[in-house]
């Protein structure tokens, strides 16, 4: 079984398309992605202790920091869906493209539980969020939700030990807003209950991009200001179309349930889409394709979003 795994890993590493080094800043003390580190020979398995993400002008960066050395093997690849290691169940992640990073001979937990963030929202021009999909049998995996599929570079740094992923964003960007719930105002019954924040998104498809940002949720700094997203059990959306008559149609995926609340995901989707001059009405469909008013120039929600 170990021999089979090693063979599979070697094939996957070899299949990754490299990006010209000139496309990114020079990486000091970089180590080849598939070369075992000296520390990996130690008895202790490297432990993931932090996950960070950064926005840059031409790329977004995600960093996984380890204690006790580096994972012996690391590889990243695009996948159609993020699945949990072991169970094979879908893992919620926002974006039109998903990069999955797998690191062998590593752990992301100790006797006290998880040792690093399992979910991190960057809200960058390409990297939207980073989500753990596995921490099983000394193998750690994460999904990186992207606004667009782009070239990437995977490398390592030392002191401290880090696995680094740079993802390009070589397209024109625009600043658009995403509407979130202000939880404190809602609890205190002090309108307005929503608040807009800015995001940099691909200029060619800003409406799709801001919806993905909505489902990913607020950045950590925004959460500290009491901003929250509301999903109403939806994990995202499958389709978004905008007609010449300025009607936007959004089909949710996953689930759909208001939970008896008067505030649902519709209260965030509608104002987020109506910021665009091309949208005057918004029709939201449940995962089965139903909405209360499918025709006509008016807003519509599915029955599952009624209080």
Q: Which among 168, 201, 230 is the end of a domain?
A: 168
Q: Report the C-alpha gap between 49 and 28 in whole angstroms.
A: 21
CATH number at residue 89: 2.60.40.3500
Backbone angles phi, psi at 7, to 5 degrees: -65, -45
**Claim to verify: residue 156 and residue 14 sit in the same structural domain:** yes
Q: Which residue has the tokens 């029955």?
A: 303
Range of the domain at 75: 2-168
Buried-exposed string 210-249: b where 16+ CB fall within 10 A, e elsewhere:
bbbbbbbbbbeebeeebbebbbbebbbbeebebeeeebbb
**Claim to verify: residue 183 and residue 147 sit in the same structural domain:** no
**Claim to verify: residue 20 and residue 147 sit in the same structural domain:** yes
Question: 150: which 2 tokens?
Answer: 């782009």
Burial of 276 (0-12, 13-18, 19+ CB in 10 A): middle
Span of 13-22, 138-147, 230-239 with lowest mean pLDDT: 13-22
**Claim to verify: residue 94 and residue 191 sit in the same structural domain:** no
pLDDT of residue 32: 40
Asked if pLDDT for residue 30 goes beyond 90, the answer is no
- Report how many domains make up the chain: 2
Q: Give residue 160's pLDDT band: very low, low, confident or very high (50, 70, 90).
A: very high
Asked if pLDDT for residue 280 goes beyond 50, the answer is yes
**Claim to verify: residue 217 and residue 106 sit in the same structural domain:** no
Question: 131: which 2 tokens?
Answer: 């989500």
Q: Give residue 86's pLDDT band: very low, low, confident or very high (50, 70, 90).
A: confident
pLDDT of residue 15: 36
Q: Give residue 3's pLDDT band: very low, low, confident or very high (50, 70, 90).
A: very low
pLDDT of residue 39: 37
The pLDDT tens digits for 282-301 are 999 999 999 999 999 999 99
Q: Give residue 67's pLDDT band: very low, low, confident or very high (50, 70, 90).
A: very high
Work out the average pLDDT over 239-262.
98
pLDDT of residue 282: 98
């Amino acid at each position: 079984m170990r021999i089979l795994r090693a063979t599979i890993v070697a094939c996957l590493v070899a299949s990754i398309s490299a990006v010209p080094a000139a496309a990114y800043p020079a990486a000091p003390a970089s180590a080849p992605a598939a070369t075992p580190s000296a520390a990996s020979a130690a008895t202790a398995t490297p432990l993931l202790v932090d996950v960070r993400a950064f926005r840059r002008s031409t790329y977004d960066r995600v960093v996984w920091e380890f204690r006790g050395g580096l994972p012996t093997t690391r590889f990243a690849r695009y996948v159609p869906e993020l699945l949990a290691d072991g169970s094979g169940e879908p893992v919620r992640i926002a974006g039109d493209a998903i990069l999955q990073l797998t690191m062998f001979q590593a752990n992301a937990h100790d006797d006290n539980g998880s040792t690093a963030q399992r979910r991190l929202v960057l809200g960058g021009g390409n990297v939207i969020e980073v989500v753990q999909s596995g921490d099983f049998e000394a193998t750690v995996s994460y999904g990186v939700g992207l606004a667009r599929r782009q070239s990437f570079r995977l490398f390592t740094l030392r002191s401290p030990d880090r696995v680094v992923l740079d993802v390009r964003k070589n397209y024109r960007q625009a600043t658009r807003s995403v509407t979130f719930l202000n939880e404190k105002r809602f609890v205190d019954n002090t309108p307005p209950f929503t608040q807009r924040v800015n995001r940099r998104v691909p200029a060619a498809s800003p409406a799709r991009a801001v919806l993905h940002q909505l489902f990913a949720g607020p950045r950590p700094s925004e959460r500290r200001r009491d901003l929250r997203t509301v999903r109403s059990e939806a994990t995202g959306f499958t389709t978004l179309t905008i007609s010449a008559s300025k009607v936007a149609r959004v089909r949710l995926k996953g689930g759909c349930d208001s939970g008896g609340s008067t505030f649902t995901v519709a209260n965030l989707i509608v104002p987020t889409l109506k910021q665009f001059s091309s949208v005057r009405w918004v029709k939201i469909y449940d995962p089965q394709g139903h909405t209360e008013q499918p025709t006509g120039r008016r807003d519509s929600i599915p029955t599952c979003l009624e209080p």
